[in-house]
A = this chain, B = another copy of it.
Amino acid sequence: MALISIIEDFHPLNDAKLLYRADELKPSLHHEIVEPVGGFQLKERYSPEREEIVLQKVPKLAMGKGQNLCLDFGDHYVGYLTLEFSYTGSHPDAPAFLKLKFSEVFDELSENSDDYDGWISTSWIQEEYIHVDVLPARVTLPRRYAFRYLKITMMDTSPKYKLIVKHAELLTESSANYKRLEPFTTGDELKDRIYNVGIRTLANCMQDVFEDGPKRDQRLWMGDLRLEALANYVSFRNMNLVRRCLYLFGGSRFPDGRISANVFIKPAVEADDTWMFDYSLLFVVALEEYLQETNDEETLNDLYDIAMQQVEISLRHCDERHVVDDEAANAAFIDWREGMDKRGCAQAVLIFAMRYARRLARRKNDYSQANWLLEQLELLRKAAIEYFWDEEQKCFVSEGQTAMATQVWMVLADVLEPEKARELMENSERFLEPYKMATPYMHHYYVTALCRTGLLEKAEKHMKEYWGSMLDAGADTFWEAWDPDDPKASPYGGKVINSYCHAWSCSPVVLIKKFFTQQK
């Protein structure tokens, strides 16, 4: 995969002061105890056919070899599971051997992980085999899981006893404080549902850092952070958590100063050796947006140079025509769409980020830098028109492709006059194929591009249709990747590895609050 880089002897540049600050900003975690609200058994181990069990009967259900019990916790949660086991029959004369499968969505329950053959590690599949040596027992699993459903399969007991699951409970964990959430309604039922599921998605990704997904990768990625931060500003307003994450990105970078696409927290803070051209530039955007919310000058002073450095490094990737070079363009993420040319997108993201960089410079009273940025971005903007705009097709073309992503980013970067941009987006349906948007991340930018060109109705309609179709498909939290026309699609070669609570999909929280709520 193009986006998997392994740099031999990668030693990130760590800034002790910034990392110390990040450490001071560690959030408090909130906990709640949750119990199952329903139970059922799958008729066969890998079949979705289910037989309901009255919840009160679960503590009397004697499980022999091969039997399963599924518990439904009623909503998507993140936390630590405790199970209490008992038995019927004789004193257990052999350990109980169990398989536990934690599923974010119902379909996952009946998937056989052995069938997965993609490039993501199967170690992310939330499955455990455990032996319980002494019964009765109260077992708390040491790992954190993200799930709504728990499937317990009895791998073996012994001929002398059967196992009983007497009690199950989950200690939830999140740094989102629901008490800070103000009551909110749009008056539109579907929008309210989308908003609420978005909030839950955000909350379950808010942990020690803003994670991309609590199932996978449980990690701080820049692209996710930017959207989470925006949703957080209009909901939980945990400013310190955003600040902490910005310091983490600033505090551990590539040896040449680039912001990494993601940062590891454990065992110690360490930038990943993956550089994504667009993600490193979104640091500049996220920093500026944080300042809009907080006017926190200390953070500006601490991170300003690093933000400017991202632009400067990116500009070094422009050729004499002021076009982003292939190396950088290939290193842009944009969306999970293989084969899509990213030159146009990369050019636009750089312009987009430079507008935020310029605002940072003005905030810092660094007017010469602000002016220089304006000059540079104008050169890039003109180059974008010159080399990517196709007057015949009336759209942007990147290596012969007219992908939606390219149009969207060009619009967001204000490359076109407003009127022309609006025309482009009015006819945006023609860009839906063949380089289809694959993720809610890309759909977010599409909706914002529609909003930016004043097409609010069309934007709202798309949001409702796209995120609404996830609700129809049973989402308790929004998913990492979703194509309503192809529900089995996965960018990872198998849905069992998909993340069904993914930060970058929480963006309707901000879309609804910012664009789709009637002002009273």
Contact = CB atoms under 8 A, between A and B. Distances in A.
A128 B128 contact: no
Nearest to A119: B159
Q: List the number of copies, as a whole number.
A: 2
Interface string A261-278: 000101100101100000
Nearest 6 CB-CB pairings of A with B:
A94-B121, A97-B123, A121-B158, A95-B123, A129-B129, A134-B266
A349 to B, nearest CB: 24
Contacts of A16: none
A1 interface: yes
Nearest to A116: B156
A122 B93 contact: no
A134 B131 CA distance: 23
Contacts of A461: none
A448 B189 CA distance: 86
A90 B134 contact: no
20 contacts: A1-B159, A4-B159, A7-B90, A10-B90, A90-B272, A91-B270, A91-B273, A93-B121, A93-B264, A94-B121, A94-B124, A94-B216, A120-B158, A121-B156, A121-B157, A121-B159, A122-B155, A123-B158, A133-B266, A136-B267
B136 A131 contact: no
Contacts of A143: 131, 133
Given A95-B124, A134-B267, 11 more contacts: A4-B159, A90-B273, A91-B273, A93-B121, A93-B219, A93-B264, A97-B122, A128-B131, A129-B129, A134-B266, A135-B267
A96 interface: yes
Contacts of A6: 89-90, 159-160
Contacts of A378: none
A1 B136 CA distance: 26
A156 B122 contact: yes
A354 to B, nearest CB: 30
Interface in A307-326: none
Contacts of A266: 133-134
Interface in A113-170: 119-124, 128-129, 131, 133-136, 143, 155-160
Interface centre among A91, A94, A273 (most CB of B within 10 A): A91
Nearest to A137: B267
Contact of A155 (B123, B135, B157): B123
Interface in A462-517: none
A360 to B, nearest CB: 29
A7 B89 CA distance: 8
Contacts of A264: 91, 93
Contacts of A159: 1, 4, 6, 119, 121
Interface string A72-109: 00000000000000000111011111000000000000
A272 B129 contact: no
Given A129-B129, A134-B266, A94 B155 contact: no
B134 A123 contact: no
A89 B97 CA distance: 35
A217 interface: yes
B123 A94 contact: yes
Contacts of A90: 5-7, 10, 272-273
Contacts of A119: 159
